[in-house]
Amino acid sequence: MTQEKDPNLVKWGVKYSISAAIAGILCCVAPAVLFMFGLMGGVYAISFADFFYKDDGSSGVGAWILKILALCIGIYGVYSFRKKQNQCSIDPKRKKKNLILLITMILVLGVGLFLSLEKWSAWYFDEYIVPAQQQELKIKH
């Protein structure tokens, strides 16, 4: 039986932190990107994002589902790394250190990217999408 090589900690952490962050903020990034490329108008972009939020602007059920999905992606990343790492014959202390580093990396990068994308999408909505929505509504009336 051949031994598998050690999983790359950095690649694993970056892959799962980016995946989790994008999944968690998909409600805002998707309409912003689609609007940016001209694939949807301001009214539709706002209504798409509104589906995930309550009237007062706080997270609604849809946003919480995406955040829970993001958490599940991060947990799965740690679980699958641990499983893959256990197939390799490396020192148990090193395995534990790698796991702690991975959890920290996924948390820091994932949350950092999530918050950055949240800030960017809020700015983009205020700067471009809301004015386009108001212009589109003015034309219709």
Do the domain assignments include residue 50?
A: yes
pLDDT tens, position by position, 2-51: 556 778 899 999 999 999 999 999 988 999 999 999 999 999 998 888 88
Q: Name the band, by pLDDT with cuts 50, 70 and 90, for residue 141.
A: low
Q: Is residue 141 part of a domain?
A: no
Q: What is the pTM of this model?
A: 0.84
Whole-number pLDDT of residue 91: 82
Residue 77: CB partners within 8 Å, gap ≥ 6?
Answer: 12, 13, 15, 16, 17, 19, 20, 102, 106
Q: Is residue 80 part of a domain?
A: yes
Which DSSP string do the residues of 76-110 spell out, in sequence order?
A: HHHHHHHHHHHTS---HHHHHHHHHHHHHHHHHHH
Residue 61: which domain range?
17-135
> What are the pLDDT digits (tens) for 96-124?
999 999 999 999 999 999 999 999 999 99
- Within a domain: 3: no
Position 45 in a domain: yes
**What local confidence, expressed as pLDDT, does residue 1 receive?**
45
What pLDDT, in 10s, does the model give residues 58-86? 888 999 999 999 999 999 999 999 998 87
108 belongs to a structural domain: yes
pLDDT of 90 > 80? The answer is no
